[in-house]
Structure 1
């Protein structure tokens, strides 16, 4: 297999339990491998509690087919660590509906809730709702006193 040099650029930040990814150029397979490693490290810090991701393409970046396939194992690993939802902004793409559909196919195949949004302000409330819902599944709030045994009359 031929190995190429990394192509593309991105940055990763956090906002509480939301991982924020900003892609500034099309990533090839080699750069996606590096991205997956970095995301895995950040997910390790979140393990034990649900978290979500926001991904924004800052330019007309596209995902090459080979790069999409590289994403699958990393996303599955992050799901095991607590990834519960993904929102992405592809509004700067020349074909946002196509890019959203292709990305959505991947998330659908993995059973991961996703939403295409226009900006982070639109994504954040939805992502926080998804995190909250996932938290309740992991640690349901009983809301009622636990039974102390049979009632004595």
Structure 2
């Protein structure tokens, strides 16, 4: 069973093992001695950080961001951009915090802002898609 500290690496390894079993060309590269899971996970993390904008990352039709209090990350929130709803919200070690319900409520209440930005991006308008409008209470 995966530990919390290694669950990301375990998940990536399981995926790569399965892919190697199904794809013989990939298996050759995957079997090279200079390849290891730790470096692979570091690469994945660095690429995700490069794509992050204003503390948020866009990942396959999802918006991922952190709910913070005084700069400290409380929970990570995933919003489905197709369904426009919170699909995941977790604190440290995949647990809910005392703020969990309030965070989900706050994100849900402001979902229209995400919808606005998606529409602006789709229409190619000059609207700043990274700016939270004045008067929006984002406090937890």
> Is the TM value for this pair above 0.5?
no
Q: Which has the higher contact order (CA 8 A, sep 6+)?
A: 1
Q: Scaled by the length of structure 1, what TM-score is found?
A: 0.27
